[in-house]
Amino acid sequence: MTKAGRHFLQIPGPSPVPEPVLAATAQQVIDHRSPEFGELGAKVLSKVKQIFKTRYDVIIYPSSGTGAWEAALCNALSPGDKIMTYETGHFASLWSKLATRIGLVPITVGENWRGGVDPNVIEAELRKDTGHEIKAVCVVHNETSTGSTTRIKEVRDAIDAAGHPALLMVDTISGLGSADLRMDEWGIDVVVAGSQKGLMLPPGLSFNAVGPKALAASKTSSIRRSYWDWAEMIAINKTGYFPYTPATNLLFGLDKAIDMLLTEGLDNVFARHERLAEATRRAVQSWGMENLCQSPRHFSPVLTTVVMPEGHSADAYRRKVLKNFNMSLGSGLSKVADKVFRIGHLGDINELTLMGTLAGCEMGFELAGVPHQKGGVDTAMRYLAETSAA
């Protein structure tokens, strides 16, 4: 009815940018070849490693996450290389399509839009590849289209169990900074990430964290590349500078956002996400609605995808919520278009914003005539109160 008051941006990214981060991005641009920039670059490139839990190089691109997908593949692989993919949802599927477009041969070994990657499938399929034709296993950590989070360590273990040399490439575009990811401990070779989710920045930056095995592979890989090339980036980044003009103002913001995450403490950040996600799931259950993700082991701390009752349009519902309650919810994508909606609960979010969000959902059901049981908001609130610090 009205557009007064704060918009509730409850899509699974971009997530609302905290005021201090917005303010940081609004500082006057500086000379990207100045000593001042060199200090900024060195500082940010170093600090960001803590977020990836890696001691290796993290490359920052001025691009969306889609660019970082391409970067990961085109640096480490050669035309015609086979890669193993697992369709956990729309974004896993898009990454696979992108691979095809740049000349790779993705082999999709599993499909599950209602849960995470099954590591047994990975292991079994890798064992079959006795010739080691598969050069990389590409999985999505947090699948933004469905709300499942794959246990990456299990995938690592599966590859190791199979004794297969494939690289492990992980897309955590919507996971980083919200769901724990331990690049080095978990043996990930390339991590792909973006700025506008758990990092709480506006969109426009993407990341490749590159382990030594991937870096070695990039020396001999033969996909043609320039903008995405790791070698030049890594070489010049050592000085705190970039081979081409960086998105300076987003780097100002990144500097601030990392500080905020580290000040809160990554473990606290992850626990906060888990708790809000659990509250959301309890609300969904109370409403008598179905979580698209059916595997509790893979519930996402980032978003929850709700299946609409048969015969009800998720998009009509979302439009109603937007119009009446000034809240954006995520749409269903591709094969679940109009059948589900997604509640983002990531980034700079707290209990009361979540409560407003869930209230908007529940009131929206009422207004859109979506059959549901009342009480979801109440259930979430009880859970949050019970789990609040004494």
Q: Which of residues 90-119 bind its own copies (CB under 8 A)?
A: 98, 101-103
Q: Does 384 bind its own copies (CB under 8 A)?
A: yes
Residue closer to its own copies, measured from CB, 158 or 251: 251
The residue assigned the tokens 């990389």 is 136
Query: Could you tell me the smallest distance in angstroms from the CB atom of residue 170 to its own copies?
Result: 19
Residue 227 binds its own copies (CB under 8 A)? yes
Please tell me whether residue 371 adopts helix, strand or coil conformation.
coil
Q: How far is CA 84 from the centre of its chain?
A: 20
Under rule CB under 8 A, residue 6 binds its own copies: yes
Q: State the residue for tokens 């050669």.
A: 78
Q: Of residues 354-373, which lie at the interface with its own copies (CB under 8 A)?
A: 354-357, 359-360, 362-363, 366-367
Tokens of 45: 């490139």
219 interacts with its own copies by CB under 8 A: no
Could you say whether residue 267 binds its own copies (CB under 8 A)? no
Q: Which of 269, 245, 292 is nearest to 345 (CA)?
A: 269
Stretch that binds its own copies, among 52-60, 80-88, 262-270, 297-305 (CB under 8 A): 262-270
Site for its own copies in 185-214 (CB under 8 A): 194, 196, 202-204
Least Å distance between CB 365 and its own copies?
9
Shortest CB 224 distance to its own copies, Å: 5
| Least distance (Å) between residue 390 CB and its own copies | 8
Site for its own copies in 296-335 (CB under 8 A): 322, 324-328, 331
Helices 376-386 and 266-286: crossing angle in degrees, nearest 10, is 150
Q: If you write DSSP's letter for every residue of 142-208 in order, what string do you get?
A: EETTTTEE--HHHHHHHHHHHT---EEEEE-TTTTTTS---TTTTT-SEEEEESSSTT-PPS-EEEE
Q: Per rule CB under 8 A, is residue 264 in the interface with its own copies?
A: yes
Q: Kindly state whether residue 245 participates in binding its own copies, applying the rule CB under 8 A.
A: yes
Which residues touch 267 (CB under 8 Å, ≥6 apart)? none
End-to-end CA distance of the chain: 38
Cis peptide before 243 (omega within 30 of 0): no
- Count CB neighbours of 359 within 10 A: 18
In this chain, which of 48, 66, 113, 278 binds its own copies, going by CB under 8 A?
66
Q: Is 248 in the site for its own copies (CB under 8 A)?
A: yes
When asked if residue 175 is in the footprint of its own copies (CB under 8 A), the reply is: no
**Closest of 83, 66, 53 to residue 211, by C-alpha:** 53
Does residue 220 interact with its own copies by CB under 8 A?
no
- Between 63 and 148, CB nearer to its own copies: 63
Residue 124 or 367: the one with the smaller Cβ distance to its own copies is: 367
Please state the closest distance from residue 124 (CB atom) to its own copies, in A: 30
Nearest alpha carbon to residue 194 among 381, 383, 14, 9: 14
User: Judged by CB under 8 A, how many residues of this single chain contact its own copies?
Assistant: 97
Smallest gap from residue 45 Cβ to its own copies (A): 17
- If one asks whether residue 64 binds its own copies (CB under 8 A), the answer comes out as yes
Burial 294-326 (b: 16+ CB within 10 A, else e): eeeebbbbbbbbbbbeeebbbeebbebbbeebb
Stretch that binds its own copies, among 12-20, 121-129, 148-156, 211-219 (CB under 8 A): 12-20
- Using the minimum distance from each CB to its own copies, give the nearer residue, 21 or 159: 21
User: Which among 57-65, 124-132, 145-153, 164-172 is the span making contact with its own copies, rule CB under 8 A?
Assistant: 57-65
Q: Does residue 22 belong to the site contacting its own copies (CB under 8 A)?
A: yes
Instruction: Work out which of 38, 43, 62, 266 binds its own copies, going by CB under 8 A.
Output: 62
Asked if 248 and 270 touch (Cβ cutoff 8 Å), the reply is no
- Give the H/E segment covering residue 221: none
